Amino acid sequence: MLELALKGNKKYYGWITALLVLVGIGFGAYLTQLGFGLGITGMSRDVSWGFYIAQFTFLVGVAAGGVMVVLPYYLHDYKAFAKVTILGEFLAIAAITMCLLFILVDLGQPMRMFNVLLYPTPNSVLFWDMIVLNGYLFLNIVIGWNVLEAERNNVHYPMWLKPLIYISIPWAVGIHTVTAYLYCGLPGRGFWLTAILAPRFLASAFAAGPALLILLCMIIRKVTNFDPGKEQIQSLAKIVAYAICLNVFFFLCEVFVVFYSQIPEHMDHLKYLFFGLQGKSSLVPWMWTSMALMVVGIILLVNPVTRKNENVLVVACLTVFAGTWIDKGLGMISGGFVPSPLHHVTEYAPTVPEIMITLGVYGAGFLVLTILYKMAVGVKEEVRS
Amino acid sequence: MESSRRRFLTMTGVAVLGIGAKPVLDVLAAGQAEGAGSVELKKGDGALKAKQWAMVVDTRKINKASDLEPMISACHKIHNVPKMETKNHEIKWIWEEEYHYAFPTEINKFLSEHAEHVPFPVLCNHCENPPCVRACPTKATFKRELDGIVMMDFHRCIGCRFCMAACPYGARSFNFRDPRPFIKETNKEYPTRMKGVVEKCNYCAERIAIGKMPACVEVSNGILTFGDLYDPQSAVRALLKSNFTIRRKQSLGTEPTVYYIV
């Protein structure tokens, strides 16, 4: 089926070239990092995880969000989603690819990566994260590929696939739960030390993932002959609406516990993010923007009039995606490290090479996504004609 | 042709999966227990022995920063700890903090003048229940069963920095760049590190092995006392018996082994 991704018009190849250039620039910057060390990033002794791990966390969410089209179709027999499940699965593949790349570029000694397999350590959450992420990647490749191939050949997908599909549903919840456990099980990091972290991660995932999926569906409709469908997009929009409401609700639960109990170790991180601490406040405008975007997203998505207008829906999805990205891709990781366990306030901001590497990884992910979607759309067009 | 190529690819895939899965399955089968393959370490004849090493810091004997200076420079010199140019890349094994930073969860509004003003030495607590060891995905940091020292294998560390996120005491440093150009005088008896790995205090495991006290203790002028926490006759236990002590962030259950007499 891969040959379908080779046949494209000029625009398609232009887009592929642009992505390759982005990957090339990122790779160049990565070679510098490989030579010098992680010192070319903005990370420090106090803020020892930065942009890479934050993007990783956000994208695990996007990957898990793909399940929101798989679940209604396979568990509730919601037939409308038959058309778009493959888009969810392929989005998950691209997102997990980016996650793994972000982990790789964050390692101080990437050539020793396989030590995680050579000296497996079940008491480390990172070990389990490695297992669930690779497992989810594997599941989605096998499921996505075989279902698409069956569709192309006009037959039902093989029955041995059914159990894998059922497993992939709780597995999607698993990847983001385990990712949250990376953070929320650490003593002495008050910002993350909360049982609501995993549910909050999932809620923001089920908002950001389907929001991106809606945007991708609209793009596909515009640039190809395949229409993912109005009903499909509206159903996804309802999922985004509920999920973003839950995300804000969970966040407010955290805010209540933290500020009513007034335990400083938990309070100071939120104070830093939203008001600044000891005169350091570089994330404050970002965090309030994130909140505003999510609230606007809720208003536009909950109201049926605005939700049903597809032009407004695009805006709503963009605000939800941007809002959740700032929340997780900027605030979530830095926020946990500031103030430090000794209560020093060391701020973090990514450097230019760090951003270049980040964009390179995104480029690689979108390259995978483009090729997979081109293939999927190719099959859909073939079957239709 | 088509089918044999496909078969070859499938078999290769299965083989690669198998190679990766084997050690993982082994360890899952063995559970937490180390199997028959575990290595026994023999102690040297002159080695100091303990069930769990611990340290008592008598802050009453500290008056000014220069009292701590010899400990810090002795440690950093023998362990080839570099002096980095920027604060972001800083590496330190033992350093001084004000009381407010050393004990951020135990701040009284009105402290004794002494506690308010003297510098407190802080270092890895070699916790009895260390969260960094729990977090490490490769066992590059581990708690030595022999004597409870939390150690680092610089050659196994992949530089994921999970241990740094896990440590509630900020005891760990990461080599953000090659540290070697920043070491004034290299001590050939102790390894230097490469970029991309984490390091921290090791309670001078290399000195204990040949019967010497940790370097900081030796030059501390009685401020630091080192000994076995579980030997009722040890110097450490004698101090704990006759003085009220506190530890950093006791409420977290990490059981730090560095005690402070305030």
A50 touches chain B (CB under 8 A): no
Asked if A189's CB is within 8 angstroms of B165's CB, the reply is: yes
Do the domain assignments include residue B39?
Answer: no
pTM for the predicted model, two decimal places: 0.92
Amino acid B2: pLDDT:
55
What order do you get walking across the sheet with B224-228 strand by strand? Answer: B224-228, B53-58, B258-261, B245-246
Whether A167 and A209 have beta carbons less than 8 Å apart is answered as: no
Asked if A43's CB is within 8 angstroms of B28's CB, the reply is: no
Whether A277 and A338 have beta carbons less than 8 Å apart is answered as: yes
CB contacts, 8 Å: B104 with chain A: 265, 341-343
Asked if B162's CB is within 8 angstroms of A124's CB, the reply is: yes
Residue B243 has pLDDT above 90, yes or no: yes
Classify A45 as helix, strand or coil: coil
Average pLDDT of span B23-33: 60
For B186, other C-beta atoms within 10 Å of its C-beta total 12
Question: CA of A372 to nearest chain B CA: how many angstroms apart?
Answer: 20
Q: How many whole angstroms separate alpha carbon A39 and alpha carbon A81?
A: 46
Give the CATH number for residue B254: 3.30.70.20
CB contacts, 8 Å: A334 with chain B: none
A124 touches chain B (CB under 8 A): yes
Class level of CATH domain A2-242+353-384: mainly alpha
Per-residue pLDDT tens listing for chain A (385 residues): 888 888 888 999 999 999 999 999 999 999 999 999 999 999 999 999 999 999 999 999 999 999 999 999 999 999 999 989 999 999 999 999 999 999 999 999 999 999 999 999 999 999 999 999 999 999 999 999 999 999 999 999 999 999 999 999 999 999 999 999 999 999 989 999 999 999 999 999 999 999 999 999 999 999 999 999 999 999 999 999 999 999 999 999 999 999 999 999 999 999 999 999 999 999 999 999 999 999 999 999 999 999 999 999 999 999 999 999 999 999 999 899 999 999 999 999 999 999 999 999 999 999 999 999 999 999 998 887 7
β-strand partners of B173:
B199
Question: CA of A156 to nearest chain B CA: how many angstroms apart?
Answer: 22
At B143, the amino acid letter reads K
Asked if A109's CB is within 8 angstroms of B161's CB, the reply is: no
Domain locations in chain A as residue ranges: 2-242+353-384
Question: CA of A96 to nearest chain B CA: how many angstroms apart?
Answer: 18
Whether B195 and A112 have beta carbons less than 8 Å apart is answered as: no
Amino acid B35: pLDDT:
47
Average pLDDT of span B167-184: 97
Average pLDDT of span B138-149: 96
Q: Which of the residues B123, B138, B139 would you substitute to probe the A interface, choosing the one with the greatest number of A C-beta atoms within 10 Å?
A: B138
Residue-by-residue DSSP string for A110-172: GGGTTHHHHS--TT-HHHHHHHHHHHHHHHHHHHHHHHHHHHHTTSPPPTTHHHHHHHHHHHH
By C-alpha distance, the chain A residue nearest B248 is: A342
Residue-by-residue DSSP string for A229-268: -HHHHHHHHHHHHHHHHHHHHHHHHHHHHHHHHT-HHHHH
Question: CA of A33 to nearest chain B CA: how many angstroms apart?
Answer: 9
At A74, the amino acid letter reads Y
The helix-helix angle for A352-384 and A197-223 (nearest 10°) equals 60
Contacts of B69 (CB under 8 A, 6+ apart): none
Prediction ipTM score? 0.92
The residue behind tokens 């200076």 is B69
Q: Which of the residues B160, B173, B178, B249 would you substitute to probe the A interface, choosing the one with the greatest number of A C-beta atoms within 10 Å?
A: B160
Per-residue pLDDT band at B4 (split at 50, 70, 90): confident
Contacts of B62 (CB under 8 A, 6+ apart): B68, B118, B119, B120, B121, B223
pLDDT digits (tens, 9 = 90+) for B152-172: 999 999 999 999 999 999 999
Of A115, A264, A343, the CB nearest to B138: A115
Q: Which residues form the domain of B143? A: 53-261
Average pLDDT, chain B: 90
Angle, CA of B5, B10 and B14, to the nearest 5°: 150
Task: Kindly give the pairing relationship between strand B53-58 and strand B258-261.
Answer: parallel
A343 touches chain B (CB under 8 A): yes
Per-residue pLDDT band at B107 (split at 50, 70, 90): confident
Do the domain assignments include residue B180?
Answer: yes
Q: Which among A93, A74, A237, A256 is positioned nearest to A165, based on CA atoms?
A: A74
Do the domain assignments include residue B30?
Answer: no
CB contacts, 8 Å: B252 with chain A: 187-188
Asked if B156's CB is within 8 angstroms of A119's CB, the reply is: yes
Q: Residue B208 belongs to what H/E stretch?
A: helix B205-208
A183 touches chain B (CB under 8 A): yes
β-strand partners of B143:
B150
Lowest mean pLDDT among A258-262, B18-22, B54-58: B18-22
Q: Which of the residues A45, A133, A183 would you substitute to probe the B interface, choosing the one with the greatest number of B C-beta atoms within 10 Å?
A: A45
Q: How many whole angstroms separate alpha carbon A303 and alpha carbon A294?
A: 14
Of B28, B134, B195, the CB nearest to A108: B195
